Amino acid sequence: MELNYINKLMSEASSERFSGRKVVLGEGKPKCNIMLIGEAPGADEEEQGRPFVGKAGKNLMGFLNTAGLKREDVYLTNVVKIRPFKLSAKTGGKINRPPEREEINFFIPFLKMEIEAVNPNLIVTLGNVPLQAVTDDKKATIGEYHGKIICVGESRVFPMYHPAAIIYNRGLEDVYYKDIEKLVDNL
């Protein structure tokens, strides 16, 4: 199925199920080498309608650049295509929250179609949510799987920590650089 058609189906189904919520579609060239899959859009992504344009995205691009990769070289998407948020008790403003199981389950079939259409040489999952979605294993953890290739059906999958994890845990930076090196070796 064509990406445009999958996006149309997904957007229609999403506005029926999550009415009024902006959908952030995947971005990049189909049939490209690497497909990066994140968890869900945040505030900046929702505002601009593009994946990985906020702080975590800038972090991610910084790491990719060290490996000689640019944003235009990869396909970027998320498991959940709407921003998961709750209202702050203090300010009443929107704050991010982790996606709920129901939201994840709703978007997984569309993600699987998207993967088929993009048909990348390598899928890079960023954090636990995409790792579990792609492997269909709800117990898979990034701590166990990061930095090594796993085969899922026809796909080669390379799990990495989520780039936001480095913002909160600077100790992971070295691990991230090492994983990026291994990623390049596997291209």
The contact set with ligand URA (CB under 6 A) reads 38-42, 45, 51-52, 54, 56-57, 78, 164
Which CB, 3 or 56, lies closer to ligand URA?
56
Nearest approach, Cβ of residue 63 and ligand URA (Å): 14
| Distance in angstroms (rounded) separating the CA atoms of residues 37 and 43 | 17
Minimum CB–partner distance for residue 51 and ligand URA (Å) = 4
Residues 6+ apart with CB under 8 A from 3: 26, 30, 114, 117, 118
The strand pairing partners of 87, in sequence order, are 94
Shortest reach from residue 78's CB to ligand URA, in Å:
5
**Tokens encoding 112:** 């699987």
Comparing CB distances to ligand URA, the nearer of 167 and 184 is 167
> CB of 20: closest distance to ligand URA in angstroms?
20
Q: Considering beta carbons, is residue 102 or 154 the nearer one to ligand URA?
A: 102
Q: Which is nearer to ligand URA, 122 or 164 (CB)?
A: 164
Of 70 and 90, CB closest to ligand URA: 70
Closest residue to ligand URA using C-beta atoms: 38
Closest distance of CB 115 from ligand URA, Å: 16
